[in-house]
Amino acid sequence: MADTERPQLYLVTPPEFDLSDFPAKLSAVLEAEEIACIRLALATRDEDRITRAADAVREVAHAHDVALVIDTHVVLAQRLGLDGVHLTDGARTVRHARKELGPDAIVGAFCGASRHDGLSAGEGGADYVSFGPCAGDALGDGTLAEQELFGWWSEMIEVPVVAEGGLTPEIIAQLAPITDFFGIGEEIWSAEDPVAALKALTAAM
């Protein structure tokens, strides 16, 4: 990716949110900044709650002409008419999701800090690969996605890459020349004013 191109923003919903006020917050963020894609990333497994949340978020997303993907649930992505799925198990189910959802759907894969998983996901038909966390409390085995991984990927691999998890203005400034997307979620939703929090992060690009 050329240094002159600013990375795009990929918004991740909070793991839980209140349907009475979240759609308005989301709408304000979409009006403030250009967002490429939204990911519905709920902690619940309750299908009814997921469905209601997806309907509310999709209405806002599509009103702003922004694609909406859902974590993990290939079947729900189809049933709810979403734009695709974000897989959290690396490359394992990429081929299956692609086959189920067809060539036009978005299929993304979170690959932690594994170069190998990222390559396999790309070969399996993923539209993007996401690496993280970039800082903070690393998930699972404590591995962080280092700057070197993004540098190598942007130089060698055509598949777009997303940096997510623990993003700060400093990390965004470092990674902006070598990533295609920033996956931003808790960084803004935990703030009093999500729009101001997002602007502080995008200013670092």
Do strands 161-164 and 128-131 pair parallel, antiparallel, or not at all (unpaired)? parallel
The pLDDT, as a whole number, for residue 82 is: 97
Q: List, for residues 115-134, the tens digit of each pLDDT value.
A: 999 999 999 999 999 999 99
Q: List, for residues 38-78, the tens digit of each pLDDT value.
A: 999 999 999 999 999 999 999 999 999 999 999 999 999 99
- Among the residues of 142-182, which ranges form H helices? 147-156, 169-175
Domains annotated on the chain, with CATH: 8-203 (3.20.20.70)
Q: Predicted confidence band at 1 (pLDDT cuts at 50, 70, 90)?
A: very low
Residue 123 CA to residue 119 CA, distance in Å, equals 6
- Decide if pLDDT at 158 tops 90: yes
Helix (H) or strand (E) holding 57: helix 47-63
By the 8 A CB rule, do 7 and 35 touch? Answer: no
